Structure 1
Amino acid sequence: MRGPGPADERSLDADTLAFLTRPGLTRLWTAARTRLERNGLQPAGTVRLQRLDAQEHEALSLLLARPVTGSTATISLPDLDARLRTSAVGRGLAATLEELGPPLTDRRAIRDAAAAERARVWSAARAEAESTSLSVHPWATQWLEDLRRGGTLARQDPHTATTVITQAVRTLATLFPGPDPRPTPAAWGRGELAAHATGSAHGLDDGTLLARLVLRGIALAHGAKFPADAPARRALWRMASVTPDEVSSTVLTYGLRPTGGTWQEAALRERADHHMETHLTLRELRTLRPEMPPHTRIHVCENPRVAEAAADTGRTAPLVCTSGSATTVVLTLLDALAEAGCTFAYHGDFDWPGIALANRITQRYEAEPWRMRAPDYEYLATRTQQRGTPQIPLTGPPTEAAWDPELTPTMTAVGISLHEEAALDLLLEDLG
């Protein structure tokens, strides 16, 4: 390395650059860069290099203008900074590392800026709460503190975090407008409340960050647990006089003949007598408590085509269709039927998602497999092959069938998916 010379702030000359980029200095620059970026780009403290090789001994000795021996070297960053300034490099450690690239990142400044942004978010949230009716509710202070400590909003960018927490405060202030710990008796539709607080009717949709924050506040206000599933979330909304959307999702039924005297049960019987399917909403199921003949056997299928074919052919057995997934509205109806003493038989698709759904239904309701055992699969597979039906390969990791240990190995060996329509004629026979 050349001796001291005048500083050249424009760029390093070729000889100096070649020396600084030699392999024997690579670990030093890496360690110094890490330390500076943590130190606010200030050359403070030391770096320790272990297990030095001959190439590093030579390069460090030339750079520091002193012999470097042994397997370990401890290098003072202030001394290194001074040495670089008085050498041919002519600039301090930070400027040298910038020249060698890539640009330095002041991680301390980034952390401080992020902390300042978080502080501004919570300052704005507290100010918003103080300006509303939430300031009179002790649970609101705990709610804000829980959110601050929980880290949910810390993972959002500052603009999103400020927007969401402000909207959450305004939503809760709308629901709890005065010192009474109970919510306002005025009922809100969830979409209406969302539009009022956010400008969008979907702002409080299930699963949104805003909805989770508001539900946490409602739960604290009522001393309730935070809901773990969709039915519990809807119950908590209703506790705050907010009506969730209970009419969009439906469950497809056919042939239900409850024996009770309510108009709903009479309507189901009449539709069953006319071989008409019925779509029931969550709103209807909230008040429908069907009385059923003792030990009524309910067939449960996965695909709507089975219900359609049953109606077309005038079948009489009661049928509930999951439409491909056990959503809340499906489970709500099946729960009501189970409470009424019904038993269940389940059939679905012979593919891995179909087996997973079948496991859920059979285990929750102790449902019998309905033509869903290994011999049923083998028969249908052989029949589709004999008929020249195009074969759909099984894909994805296998799912064990809880009701039949032979089904999954059989499906894996044969290797084809069979949708419920492949067994439609057999299922209709059973529904006769």
Structure 2
Amino acid sequence: MRSETRAWLDRPELARLWDRLRDRLERNGLRARGRLRLEEVTAAEREALSLLLGRPCTGSVISFELAHLDDRLHSGAAEAGLVDVVAELRGELTDRRARSEERRSASARLWAAADEALRAHGFDGTGWANAWLEEIRRGGALARVRPEQAETLLVQAVNLLAELDVPARLGPDAVPASDSSPRLLRVGRGELAARVTGTAHGLDDDTLLSRLVLRGLARVHDVPFPPDAPSRRELWEKAGVATDRVSGTVLTFGLTPLDDDLDARWLRERSAAGAETHLTLRDLHRMSWKLPPETEVYVCENPRVVEAAADRGAGRPVVCLSGNPSSTGLALLDALTGAGALLYYRGDFDWPGLAIANRVISRYGARPWRMGAADYEAHVAIARKRGTPLPPLAGEPVEASWDAELTPAMLALGVTVHEETVLELLVGDLQADD
């Protein structure tokens, strides 16, 4: 299109016309057919439309055939049809009808591939499988990836479920073989992922494939979809899949389980020697956690508290969650409270610290450990007396479930207090009674 022709067509008086035409053509399958009606047309727009359409345009409403404008543009200075002119002025057009049909075809291919994979493993007609596919359809997660990728993921999910011996021809009431021995782990998650996807990370927690398989397993075992890492681990293990139970640890000091097994004796010996201990999930699963009566365990957020307690020979047991509790940390607290321990929790006085404290206190009925409004105000006063700078609070405020006055106090003073700022106080609390 010549520059002078483009400049005339792109004049402000025709801007509304080209915007409306773009929408109409995209809905029309990029065909110049039907009529377009413009309302509340201004005098300037009427003049420009009269020249463009080759006929007088009067009144505030103007209607014309798209085919007529297409012919005018073809035979006039534009020397191009309506579709090309609108694309030149408004950018590439999308054939919405074709795209919609393409999506329908891709969806049909996806679910046909899923049905074929289910039949290949004898899952077709199985109650859990039908409910699983319907849940995936409703959820729409596969609609957010390319059709080819969605098909691959869904077929891989079916193949993975087949690897795990979930109920197939036996019908929806069948019990998976792994249910009879839920702790007999037949295959590692990385091995399983590599076998089906070609990569050991194919079933990591953040993958869509992992979520698809877990939804299937939840249907098989008739449990809710696991919302957090510990429940995901539990569901994998229920299906006979070993998750990583050795790389993640929780830091402890002073725990003295009473059992006579090797792990309990080892932990007691380390505690007697004043040594801190990192426990893995594998360690936790091997121990039965019989504890002395009325055991009190102090839970903190920062490792420095444990290190200082060990340096001073503190006599009270401490568990450090190192920030937001990991699966290993939660598993240890589950074991300790299951054995009758009473937990005391202390974290940082900042908004993430309050959020963590809310979760721990709510889940375990833990008692706050120097985590009240009065404690916060005292800590700030001590820091200011020492000349210790305190960083400002950042982020969205969090209400402390255990003390209605704490959040207002923090908003009033506006500073963060980390555990290390009052380390002497905390370590003093951990000294054994005389």
- TM-score using structure 1 length: 0.87
Equivalent residue runs for 1:225-374 within 5 Å: 225-374=224-373
Distance 1:285 1:260 in 2: 13
1:61 to 19, 29, 50: 50
Q: Aligned partners of 2:89 and 2:348: how far apart in 1?
A: 62
**Is 1:151 aligned to residue 140 of structure 2?**
yes
Superposition map of 1:7-406 within 5 A: 11-12=1-2, 14=4, 16-132=5-121, 134=123, 139-176=128-165, 179=169, 181-183=174-176, 187-406=186-405
Unpaired stretches in structure 1, ≥5 consecutive residues = 1-10
Residues 13, 140 of structure 1: alpha-carbon distance in 2 compared, 3 angstrom cutoff: same
SS of residue in 2 equivalent to 1:47 = strand
Deviates more, 1:108-117 or 1:35-44: 108-117
Residues 206, 17 of structure 1: alpha-carbon distance in 2 compared, 3 angstrom cutoff: closer
Q: What do residues 215-244 of structure 1 show as CA deviations (whole Å, max 9, x unaligned)? A: 222233334432233333222222221122
Q: Secondary structure at the match of 2:264?
A: helix
Aligned to 1:5: none
Distance in 2 between the 1:226 and 1:166 partners? 20
Superposed displacement of residue 211, structure 1: 0.9
Instruction: Give identity over the alignment, percent.
Output: 51
- Contact 2:300 2:346 (C-alpha < 8 Å) held by counterparts: yes
Q: Indicate the larger mover: 407-416 or 314-323.
A: 407-416
Greater shift, 27-36 or 179-188, is seen at: 179-188
Mean alpha-carbon deviation: is it higher for 192-201 or for 121-130? 121-130
CA contact (8 A) 2:349 2:416 kept: yes
Secondary structure of the residue that 1:295 maps to in structure 2? Answer: coil
Larger radius of gyration: 1
**CA offsets per residue over residues 10-31 of structure 1, 9 Å max, x none?**
x3473x5454333222211211
Cα distance in 1, alignment partners of residues 89 and 256 from structure 2 = 81
C-alpha separation in 2, matches of 1:381 and 1:333: 32
Displacement of 1:206 in angstroms is: 1.9
How many residues end up aligned between the 2 structures? 421
CA distance in 2 between counterparts of 1:99 and 1:254 reads 72
Maintained 8 Å contact 1:23/1:55: no
The alpha carbon displacement at 1:188 in A equals: 1.0
1:372 offset after TM fit, Å?
Answer: 2.2
Aligned to 2:340, what secondary structure does the other structure show? Answer: coil
Describe the shift of the 1:174–1:62 C-alpha distance in structure 2 as closer, same or farther (beyond 3 A).
same
What code does the residue aligned with 1:35 have? R
State the distance in 1 between where 2:362 and 2:138 align: 39
Secondary structure of 2:403's counterpart equals coil
| 1:122–1:148 CA contact under 8 A, matched in 2 | no
Going from structure 1 to structure 2, the CA distance change for 1:290 and 1:99 (only over 3 Å counts) comes to closer
Tell me how far 1:35 sits from its aligned partner: 0.6
Q: Structure 2: which 5+ residue stretches go unaligned?
A: 179-184
Q: Which residue of 2 aligns with 1:3?
A: none
Call closer, same or farther: CA 1:13–1:207 in 2, change over 3 Å. Answer: closer
Alpha-carbon RMSD across the aligned residues, in angstroms, is 2.8
Q: Deviations over 1:155-202 (max 9, x none)?
A: 102343233223222212222387455546681111111111122222
Secondary structure of 2:69's match?
Answer: helix
CA 1:339–1:183 in 2, change beyond 3 Å: closer, same or farther? closer
TM-score normalised to structure 2 length: 0.86
SS of residue matched to 1:345: strand
Q: Any runs of at least 4 consecutive aligned residues in structure 1 with deviations exceeding 6 A, and if so which? A: none
